[in-house]
C-alpha cells in the first residue's frame, strides 16, 4: 500500500515537472513569435522609408504618442531598434534550444527513474 502511494506521488511529481517544461517552452515560443513579428514590421518600415527623401515628414508612435519627425531622424532609431530585436531574437532562440535540450535530458532521466 505504501509503495503504491509513493509511486503515485512520483508520477504526480514527474507529470508536474513535464508540464512545467512544456509551459516554459510554449512561453518562449510565444515570445519568439512576437519578436519575429516586430522585427518584420521594423524591416518593412525601413524598406518603405529608405527610398524616400530624407527631409520628408513622417510620424512615429513613441509610448502611445504620435510624434512628427523626418525620415532622416527616424531611420537611425529604427535601424538600432531592428538590430536590438535581432539580438533579442537570437538570445530567445538559444534559450529555447537550451530549454528543449534540458527537457530531453530530463525525459531520459525520468524514464530511467520510473
C-alpha cell at 79: 535601424
DSSP string, 55-72: T-EEEEEETTEEEEEEHH
d(CA 100, CA 67): 42
Render each residue's pLDDT in the chain as its tens digit; 114 residues.
556 666 777 888 888 989 999 999 999 999 999 999 999 999 999 999 999 999 999 999 889 999 999 999 999 999 999 999 999 999 999 999 999 999 998 888 776 655
Give the separation between CA 30 and CA 42, rounded to whole angstroms.
19
> What's the sign of the alpha-carbon dihedral 26, 28, 30, 36?
negative
Amino acid at each position: 500500500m505504501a509503495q503504491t502511494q509513493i509511486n503515485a506521488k512520483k508520477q504526480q511529481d514527474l507529470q508536474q515537472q513535464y508540464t512545467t517544461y512544456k509551459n516554459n517552452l510554449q512561453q518562449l515560443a510565444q515570445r519568439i513569435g512576437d519578436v519575429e513579428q516586430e522585427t518584420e514590421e521594423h524591416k518593412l518600415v525601413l524598406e518603405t522609408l529608405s527610398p524616400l527623401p530624407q527631409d520628408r515628414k513622417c510620424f512615429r508612435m513613441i509610448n502611445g504618442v504620435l510624434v512628427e519627425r523626418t525620415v532622416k531622424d527616424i531611420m537611425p532609431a529604427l535601424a538600432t531598434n531592428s538590430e536590438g530585436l535581432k539580438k533579442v531574437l537570437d538570445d530567445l532562440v538559444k534559450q529555447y534550444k537550451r530549454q528543449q535540450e534540458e527537457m530531453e535530458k530530463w525525459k531520459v532521466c525520468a524514464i530511467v527513474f520510473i
